[in-house]
Amino acid sequence: MPINDTLNAFVAHGRIEVQTTQQGPLAGLSFAVKDFFDIAGIPTAAGSPEWLATHPVPTVSTPIYDRLLAAGGKFVGKTHTDELAWSLNGENAHYGTPTNPAAAGRIPGGSSSGSASATSGGLVDFAIGSDTGGSVRLPASYCGVYGIRTTHGRIPLTAAVPLASSYDTAGWFARSPVIMEEVGRVLLDNVRPARRPTKLLIARDLFNAVDPRVSAALQPALDHLIGLMGGSEDVDVAHGDYPAWRNVFRVLQSEEAWAAHGEWVTAVKPNFGPGVKERFAAAAVMDPKEIAEAKALREKITARLLSLMTKDTIMVVPTSPGIAPLLNTPADQLDLFRARAIELLCLAGHAGLPQISIPAATLDGCPLGLSIIGGRNCDEDILAMAVEMGQA
């Protein structure tokens, strides 16, 4: 029987159930897939009615879907996304806003909005999303669930709509860290046994950059992790340059998004909603000099992060600058909040690192996530650490 979607989490054209085997590590678990990934026989809209109208129904499925089915998972539908995945809010001007089950009257976060909503509300056991600049991690924090951005390139993004190729990654949500880890064993290429990190870094400058009430709410979970690790070391990650780090992400994401979609945008002239419209307009007129400067700075940022993040090291940062903003928050306020969020979220993206957001606290009755960043290809290690934190 199809799911009773009381959350507006699922797209109308993707309400199809499929199960090919009831054997495997994911047997008994249901899942949804963000409508940004192709599934053979089901249209892909990528959050845009014009994309839906101008693209044929896929004949090939993303390997992510095939792997999950082969592992015994039951597919129950495709979920809403922001247009072309270029938003962190989850408010789609064409298809509406999925409900945030964990924070009434507040946005679910995006762009993997429907996947976060469906997971948080118990409609599925886990759900697939994509994360370019925080599109899994931020809605995970807002909706009170686990959410991972994987190492860049660790999971093939074949048969998926691109946004910014050097930042795009696959990820997923679950309410249980054990399920998060099980999905990782199925999806990660060259999966290996988890190693226990030996060094814990606290990104003190990023904790100082958020509201003191946020840091205070996260402190008990942070103390818990420090206790498990037997100590920690404070580190100044960006030396006050995180606004510049955010701008590098803005510039390079814009360049890559226009390279991926500029021809289609020019030909179709889609009726983008607020925020997405302005971002594509700016992307169309990027300054080559600014792009070159951003690429050079990204190399320095990556070198800085890789010098910190060895395979035996994890680093903790706040996932979000605060709880989910209220529905219908004025655009200028959302833009300011988005900028602050990207300053926290862009680190992993710049260096291609994995990051998991853990539902660690509440503030004013709403969820807050604490994030663990690992070294490249250390996805198994941060998933295992999330399990350890949940069991202790």
Catalytic one of 34, 48, 254, 320: 34
Residue 274 lies in a domain: yes
Look up tokens 């860049």; give the residue. Answer: 152
Residues 185 and 265 in one domain: no
User: How far is 27 from 234, CA to CA, in rounded Å?
Assistant: 42
Residues 264 and 166 in one domain: no
Domain endpoint, select from 255, 283, 311? 283
User: How far is 83 from 91, CA to CA, in rounded Å?
Assistant: 9
pLDDT of residue 2: 81
Residue 156 lies in a domain: yes
Residues 345 and 219 in one domain: yes
Residue 291 lies in a domain: no
Residue 45 lies in a domain: yes
Instruction: Report residues of the chain scoring pLDDT below 70.
Output: 392
User: How far is 151 from 136, CA to CA, in rounded Å?
Assistant: 13
Residues 6 and 77 in one domain: yes
CATH number at residue 25: 3.90.1300.10
Residue 154 lies in a domain: yes
Residues 329 and 184 in one domain: yes
- 78: tokens are 């495709």
Tens of pLDDT along 242-275?
Answer: 999 999 999 999 999 999 999 999 999 999 999 9
Residues 196 and 262 in one domain: no
CB atoms within 10 A of CB 307: 8
Look up tokens 């909040």; give the residue. Answer: 337
Encoded amino acid at 309, one letter: M
Residue 289 lies in a domain: no
Query: Residue 117: helix, strand or coil by DSSP?
Result: helix
Question: Is 295 known to be catalytic?
Answer: no
Residues 33 and 103 in one domain: yes
Question: Is 111 known to be catalytic?
Answer: yes
Q: Please, are residues 66 and 33 in contact by the beta-carbon 8 Å criterion? A: no
Domain endpoint, select from 256, 283, 310? 283
Tens of pLDDT along 74-116?
Answer: 999 999 999 999 999 999 999 999 999 999 999 999 999 999 9
Residues 48 and 138 in one domain: yes
Catalytic one of 111, 113, 320, 371: 111
Average predicted confidence (pLDDT) for the chain: 97
Residues 89 and 170 in one domain: yes
Question: Is 30 known to be catalytic?
Answer: no
Residues 318 and 261 in one domain: no
Number of domains comprising the chain: 2
Secondary element (H or E) of residue 204: helix 204-209
Domain region containing 264: 243-283
Residue 288 lies in a domain: no
pLDDT of residue 275: 94
Catalytic one of 30, 61, 115, 135: 135
pLDDT of residue 372: 98
Residues 224 and 196 in one domain: yes
Residues 258 and 374 in one domain: no
Residue 292 lies in a domain: no
